[in-house]
Amino acid sequence: MVSKDYSNVISKIDAVAEKIYEDFQNTEIPYLQLPTRTKSNIKFDEKFNVWKYGKNTTERTAKSLDGAYMLLRTMYMADFIKEMIKIKKSSTLREMYYISEGWDLAKFHSQQESNLLAEDLEVITSCMREDFKLRPEEDGARVMGNLTIEEMTRNNTKKKIHCQDDVGDAGYSIPYNVEPEKITFKSVDADFIIAIETGGMFDRLAENGFDTTHRAILVHLKGQPARSTRRFIKRLNEETNIPVLVFTDCDPWSFRIFASVAYGAIKTAHISEYLATPASQYLGVTPSDIENYDLPTDSLTKEDINALKSELTDPRFQDSYWKGEIKLQLKIGKKSEQQALAKYGLDYVTDTYLPEKLAEMGIIKK
Amino acid sequence: MNTFIITFSITAPGCKILPTKEGYILAKVTAYDLAKKQKEISVAEFFERNKHILGFGNQTRALITSVKEGVDNGLDACEEANILPDIYVEIKNREDGECKLIIEDNGPGVVKKQIPHIFGRLLYGSRFHAIRQSRGQQGIGISAVVLYGQLTTGKHAKITSKVEEDRPAVVTELAIDTNKNRAEVIARDTVHWAKPTGTRVEVSIIADYKRGKRFVYDYLQSTSIVNPHAQITYKEPDGAKHIFERTSEALPRKPAEIKPHPYGIELGTLIKLAKHTKSRKLSTFLKTEFSSMGDRTTNTAIDKANLEKNLDPKIMTREQFLALHKAFKKVKIMAPSTDCLSPIGETLIKRSLKYETQEISPEFIITSSRPPSVYSGNPFQVEVGLVYGGNLPREGAVRVMRFANRVPLLYQQGGCVTTSAISSIDWRRYGLDQTSGKGIPTGPAIFLTHISSTLIPYTSESKEAIADIPEIENEVKLAFRECARKVQHHIHKKVRRVKTREKFDLITRILPEIAKKSAYMLDKPVPSLDAVITKIMDVVWIEDLIEYVKVSRKPVQTTLIEESSQDHEGGTITKSKIMIVNYKCTPQKFNLYAVIPEDAIVGTAYPKPSKIANNYIKWNIGTIHPANKIDVNFELAGLEKGDFDENDLYIENINPAYVIGADKWEGD
């Protein structure tokens, strides 16, 4: 592998330490400023067509005990990352959490805390987690379709993998690093990419040979998609110009999955331009589908209703399409799953539902 | 005895039952019949008829009343003779419901001749006439226990008494001749008794030990709390021994006898006093036999009553007395002097409560004492205490411990003025639960009320509840309010202390780490933190610490206070260390006050205080520059370990918002 140049990362990390150090020297109470990472502070970025953090900032200051702890942990994490770069190692987020056990006062109380701080550090330094040599725990999901990927293996050799011929029923597994130095797309012969929420539906489409019959690239999202999955979809879309369709359950949580693929997630809005695929379209299952296809349903729970209402004020869902669908769902009070389509038989989704929807969206001809 | 009662119940009023050869007939009762019955009623009958109000109403009450009379008797005897009381109580329980009660004291003993009078006659003694704070108001005395025992078990009481160290003790077996209200000495003997002096009473009574067990324990424990100078040992039938330790070596001040105050006197007493006075003129009579009667008030009272001041009180008519009695109420008379009372004192109440609640390990104990006050010419004083937290049950009503003249009141809580006073306070404001802000609150607390008075106004002869006197209710309320305020203050202080602790953590541990780490990452020297610390804190920070040092010699005294006690050989020195750090960015100077218990003696204090009052020490703290620190130390003698366990600090001549660890001084 061509070893990456980390000097830029190191100088960015050192800049954080310098900021704190200078605060001490200028007899200022040390603080760090970062964008507020909430729903209320995401703005649409015209340049990238994605949602990014707005102008609101939060201050982490040593004036309060919590703030001081946060600064101390930030310093320890920064130092740890520097050290990893120096000795050419990487660690998982979970490993870093355990390593923090030895950080005395700066140790974390939960991995949630350390994960959030790693994101904070990304935001502060405008680096990516990958620059910090931090890996997520979860791997990327699976891919199947007429696509050849060249992957740099552990042995530093390039290996070509065809995502139908060279893989088993489970498909090609997306690695955590999907940057060009790791994978490149060699040949692609497909009409669209279909990103699927559940493993069950991915397997249904694979078993029914949908990738072949409809010239599709199937990507499994595995629920809320990992960064690498989103980055993979983005690169594939931008490098090959094939449309992306998102196929999920019909509930507020699935709509958020779509939003994170298409617009950028709130938590990672600082790197939306790397992760989001603005060209993605939502295929279904839509609240309208519930009515049109007369799908089996469950009633919305209190949490579902609150999530839907919250989406009505989420800047990412402010177009008429989403407002209409969300209001419709609130009105019918029902939700449904992708796999509810099996009501009409195992082939119904590949023979009827998807072709109808794809035609409706102008992806394929009727 | 049972048949006797039934006979009464079937007899129609005004009729008697006459036995004839044919059987019983009902006949009209004649005056001659009545005359046969009209003899002096015996004490036994009096007792039998009044046993409810005398505290012998049932077998549980009888047990507690007996213990109470015995213990009171012992405590009184010891205090009278200036001896620190050592009371021993033992109960031996037999299967058939008979209990043998043994109560022993280390008092002066009773001379042989007096034993039959004190233990074998009801309503005997000098206490009835004196106006002063005494336990004796509580019951009818130890002889009632002897009588109860005799009536229920038929057994004689045994009194052992020793009056001089080198003489043997006298053992007297007593019975009461219930017709004559006289004691009968059944047997008399002398024995060797190891005690220097003392009295031991053994009485067999019918009592319900099983049900009374808890009450006896509670009673003795409570008694110990309000009599910190007494040690009480209690031995249960199964051999279990409880020792309620003495927590104070000082005998309470002897309550002084006072003359009656015109506002509180009853007409009958007024007439009786007049019959027995040596004064020959009404004006002299009023001035000598009453308190608070000067020339002017005496003349006004006599004028208002339309009487002559040269009138001989011995020949006054009932109407004249009535006029005088009425006139008293119309005249403004100064309240009686209140120095005749002998309250327990805040320090001692706190110490006692602390000792007795050790197992509960309460979060805090707070006491409050009102100045003496007066109702209807009777001086009284209220003291209250509050125990909070620890292992006390969170659910259920707060336990209220009521005391009057150092005697626990165990019954009729609902009808007591202290209960209504407590109930009328909205305790929700002070962190306790209370339905609709009225009634006894619920929560992990114990309330204590002690009322000292020359005349405790009981609701009834059973002397278990104090009557609804507005003045008393008001004082109890004020005392508890003050207590509650102190609780609030304490909680407030605790919360603030946690916060400042956090800040201190921040500046002493975390901030230096941040600095060190940033310096390390950049390979630069560690920056100075002082200025940043000052900016973060932006306060004058006061922290304190209390230590106790056992000393065997007399503590070193400075000459700051004249009456530095000479008799405090040994004991504990309470050392208070106060640290003041100026974390403001400008120099600060101010006055510091440390509140101290009134019964404490100030020893070494450094720096030199600018004033030592009896309840506080004041320092003029000179200029402290930013990031600089000053230590203030003082020592207190005359206190036990734990009596002073929290500094109460105040500041003056500085914006209170600048200071953490002390509040604004509101004046003495």
CA A356/CA A38 separation, integer angstroms: 38
Instruction: Measure CB to CB from residue A82 to each of B521, B531, B536 and give the nearest one.
Output: B521
> DSSP code of B309?
T
pLDDT band at B564 (very low <50, low <70, confident <90, very high): very low
Assign a CATH topology to domain A7-135: Arc Repressor Mutant, subunit A (1.10.10)
- Residues B383, B471 within the same domain: yes
Residues B449 and B403: beta-carbon distance below 8 Å: yes
Inter-chain CB proximity A24 and B518 less than 8 Å: yes
Task: Give the pLDDT mean for B217-236.
Answer: 91
Mean pLDDT of B499-508: 82
| B112-149 tens-digit pLDDT | 888 888 888 776 654 445 677 777 654 467 888 988 99
Same domain as B231, residue B128: yes
CATH number (domain holding residue B54): 3.30.565.10
Tell me: the pLDDT tens digits for A134-156?
888 766 689 999 999 999 988 88
Give how far the C-alpha of residue B40 lies from the chain's centroid of Cα atoms, to the nearest Å: 40
Q: Which residue of A has its CA nearest to B511?
A: A68
Q: Is the pLDDT of residue B562 over 60?
A: no
User: Which positions in chain A touch B532 (Cβ < 8 Å)?
Assistant: 23-24, 27-30, 62
How sure is the predictor about B565, in pLDDT bands with cuts at 50, 70 and 90?
very low
* Tokens representing residue B118 in the block: 């004190």
Of B294, B299, B326, B321, the closest CA to residue B310 belongs to: B299
**What is the average per-residue pLDDT within B25-47?**
66
Q: What average pLDDT does the segment A101-106 reach?
A: 89
Which DSSP string do the residues of A294-327 spell out, in sequence order?
T---EEPPHHHHHHHHHHHT-GGG-SHHHHHHHH
Angle CA B445–B447–B449, to nearest 5: 175
Q: In this structure, are B73 and B219 located in the same domain?
A: yes
How wide is the angle at C-alpha B618 spanned by C-alphas B616 and B622, nearest 5°? Answer: 160
Reported ipTM exceeds the 0.85 cut: no
B418-433 pLDDT, tens digit per residue, is 999 999 988 888 878 8
Give domain status of residue B533, yes or no: yes
pLDDT number for residue B17: 53
> Does residue B288 sit within a domain?
yes
Whether residue A98 lies in the annotated active site: yes
Domain boundary among B203, B229, B244: B244
Q: Which residues of A touch B524 (CB under 8 A)?
A: 21
Q: Residue B124: its pLDDT value, please?
A: 61
Note which residues in 284-313 of chain A have CB less than 8 A from chain B. Answer: none
B230 and B102, same domain (yes or no):
yes
What's the number of domains chain B is made of? 5
Mark which of B438, B472, B489 sits at the end of a domain. Answer: B489
Does residue A76 belong to the interface with chain B, where contact is any CB pair within 8 Å? yes
Reported as a single tens digit per residue, the pLDDT across A243-259 is 999 999 999 999 999 99
Q: In this structure, are B476 and B415 located in the same domain?
A: yes
The Cα–Cα gap between B64 and B49 comes to 19
Residues of B in contact with A75 (CB under 8 A): 513-514, 517-518, 521
Of B357, B293, B305, B296, nearest in space to B330 by CA: B305
Query: Both B478 and B538 in a single domain?
Result: no
Predicted confidence at residue A188, as pLDDT, reads: 93
User: Would an 8 Å CB–CB cutoff place A80 in contact with chain B?
Assistant: no
Most A CBs within 10 Å, among B507, B508, B517, to test the A interface: B517
Q: Are residues B227 and B123 in the same domain?
A: yes
- Rounded to 5 degrees, what angle do the CA atoms B228, B233, B238 make? 145
Nearby residues of B74 by Cβ (< 8 Å), 6 or more positions away = B85, B87, B103, B104, B105, B107, B199
Cβ neighbours of B514 in A, within 8 Å = 20, 30, 62, 68, 71-72, 75
Among the listed residues B518, B543, B540, the one whose alpha carbon sits nearest the alpha carbon of residue B529: B518
Cα dist from B247 to A276, B229, B242, B548, whole Å: 77, 6, 15, 17
Mean pLDDT of B204-231: 89
Which pLDDT score, from 0 to 100, does residue B552 have?
65
Q: Tell me whether residue B634 is in a domain.
A: yes
Residues B474 and B534 in one domain: no
Q: What is the 3-state secondary structure (H, E, C) of B353-405?
A: HHHHCHHHCCCEEEEEECCCEEECCEEEEEEEEEEECCCCCCCCECEEEEEEC
How far apart CA B423 and CA B417 sit, in angstroms, is 10
**Residues B366-397 pLDDT 10s:** 999 888 888 888 889 999 999 988 888 888 88
Q: Is the pLDDT of residue B14 over 70?
A: no
Task: Give the pLDDT confidence score for residue A128 in this predicted structure.
Answer: 85
Read off the pLDDT band of B49 (50, 70, 90).
confident
Q: What is the pLDDT of residues B427-467, one digit of tens each?
A: 888 878 888 878 899 988 899 999 999 888 888 777 888 99
Nearest-by-Cβ selection for A63 from B505, B517, B536:
B536
Closest Cβ opposite residue A21 in set B502, B513, B527: B527
Q: Is the pLDDT of residue B559 over 90?
A: no
| Two domains, one topology: A7-135 and A142-360 | no
Q: Is the pLDDT of residue A195 over 90?
A: yes
Q: Do the bridges between strand A134-135 and strand A142-144 make them parallel or antiparallel, or are there none, so unpaired?
A: unpaired
Contacts 24+ apart (CB under 8 A), B240-247: B242/B217, B244/B220, B244/B356, B245/B355, B246/B84, B247/B348, B247/B351, B247/B352, B247/B355, B247/B640
pLDDT of residue A238 exceeding 90, the answer is: yes
Q: How many helices (H) and strands (E) does chain A have?
A: 14, 17
Residue B41 pLDDT: 62
**Least confident range of A69-83, B24-38, B595-609:** B24-38
Q: Please indicate, yes or no, if residue B523 is contained in any of the structural domains.
A: no
Pairwise CA distance, residues B241 & B255, whole Å: 33
Residues A30, B514: C-beta atoms closer than 8 Å: yes
Structure confidence by residue, pLDDT tens digits, B297-342: 898 989 888 888 888 888 888 888 999 998 888 888 888 877 788 8
What would the mean pLDDT of A2-10 be, rounded to a whole number? 78
Q: Where are the domains of chain A?
A: 7-135, 142-360
The CA-based dihedral angle spanning residues B122, B127, B130, B134, taken in that order and rounded to the nearest 10 degrees: -130
Polymer length in residues for chain B: 668
* A30 touches B at CB < 8 Å: yes
Residue of A31, A53, A76, A98 with catalytic role: A98
Minimal Cβ distance to A17: which of B503, B509, B521: B521
Nearest by CB: B509 against A13, A20, A105: A105
The token pair at B146 is 């002897």
B357: in domain: no
Average pLDDT, stretch A115-130?
Answer: 88
Q: Which of A20, A26, A86, A125 to mutate to test the interface with B (most CBs of B within 10 A)?
A: A20
- In this prediction, residue B10 carries a pLDDT of 38
Segment B482-502 shows an average pLDDT of: 82
Q: Which residue of A has its CA nearest to B585?
A: A27
User: What is the CATH class of A142-360?
Assistant: alpha beta
Q: Do A29 and B505 touch (CB under 8 A)?
A: no
Cα gap B450→B222, rounded to integer Å: 11
Confirm if A10 and A85 have CB atoms less than 8 A apart: yes
pLDDT tens-digit map of B165-193: 888 999 999 888 887 778 888 888 988 98
Rounded to a whole number, what is the distance in Å from the CA of B534 to chain A's nearest CA?
Answer: 9
**pLDDT bracket for residue B494 (50, 70, 90):** confident
| Partner-chain contact A79 B521, CB within 8 Å | yes
Query: Can you tell me which residue has the tokens 């009827």?
Result: A352
Nearest 5°: the CA angle B548, B551, B552 is 160
Q: Is B413 within 8 Å of B359 (Cβ atoms)?
A: no
**Residues in A touching B503 (Cβ below 8 Å):** 65
| pLDDT at residue B352 tops 80 | yes
- Residues B32 and B55 placed together within one structural domain of the fold: no
Task: Judge whether A144 and A152 are in contact, CB under 8 Å.
Answer: no
Kindly list the residues of chain B whose beta carbon comes within 8 Å of any beta carbon in chain A.
502-503, 505-506, 509-511, 513-515, 517-522, 524, 527-529, 531-532, 535-536
Half-sphere exposure of B577 (CA within 13 A, CB side): 8
Q: Are B123 and B226 found together in one domain?
A: yes
Q: Flag whether pLDDT at B7 surpasses 80.
A: no
Residue B137 has what pLDDT?
53
What's the mean pLDDT when you consider all of chain A?
91
Residues B15 and B52 in one domain: no
Pick the more confident residue, A335 or B361: A335
Say how many Å lie between the first and final Cα of chain A, rounded: 46
Helix axes A252-262, A302-312, angle to 10 degrees: 40
At B256 the pLDDT is 80
The confidence score (pLDDT) of residue B16 equals: 55
pLDDT at B286 exceeding the cut of 50? yes
User: Which percentage of chain B shows pLDDT scores above 90?
Assistant: 24
Inter-chain Cβ pairs, chain A and chain B, closer than 8 A? 75
Question: Using CA atoms, how far apart are residues B551 and B635, in angstroms rounded to an integer?
Answer: 12
Contact B181, B47 (CB under 8 A): no
pLDDT digits (tens, 9 = 90+) for A278-334: 999 999 899 999 999 999 999 999 999 999 999 999 989 999 999 999 999 999 999
Given pLDDT bands bounded at 50, 70 and 90, which one contains residue A338?
very high
* Domain interval for residue B34: 2-38
Contact A68 B511 (CB under 8 A): yes
In 3D space, the residue among A126, A135, A80 whose CA is nearest the CA of residue A107 turns out to be: A80
- CB contact set of B426 (below 8 Å; sequence gap of 6+): B434, B437, B438
pLDDT of B537 reads: 85
In 3D space, the residue among B252, B259, B255 whose CA is nearest the CA of residue B129 turns out to be B259
With contact defined as beta carbons under 8 Å apart, do B312 and B295 qualify? no
Is the model's pLDDT at B283 over the cut of 80?
A: yes
Rounded to whole angstroms, the Cα distance separating B343 from A13 reads 71
All residues of chain A having their beta carbon less than 8 Å from the beta carbon of residue B520 are 79
pLDDT in the model for residue B560: 43
Cβ neighbours of B522 in A, within 8 Å:
14, 17-18, 21
Residues of B in contact with A60 (CB under 8 A): none
- Nearest CB to A14 within list B502, B509, B522: B522
Report which of B104, B77, B78 is spatially closest to residue B200, judged by C-alpha positions.
B104
Task: For residue A83, give the chain B residue with the closest CA.
Answer: B521
Pairing of strands A57-61, A142-144: unpaired
DSSP labels, A253-288: HHHHHHHHHHT--STTGGGHHHH--TT-EEEE--HH
Asked whether residue B15 carries a pLDDT value surpassing 70, the answer given is no
Query: For B355, left (φ over 0), alpha (ψ -120 to 50), or beta?
Result: alpha
Interface contact B510-A18, CB threshold 8 A: no
What pLDDT is stored for residue A40 in this prediction? 86
Q: Looking at the predicted structure, is the pLDDT value of residue A342 above 50?
A: yes
Q: Rounded to 5 degrees, what are φ and ψ at B493?
A: -65, -40
Going by pLDDT thresholds of 50, 70 and 90, the confidence category of residue A353 is very high
d(CA B402, CA B223): 11
**Residues B144, B274: one domain?**
no
Chain B CB contacts of A86 under 8 Å are none
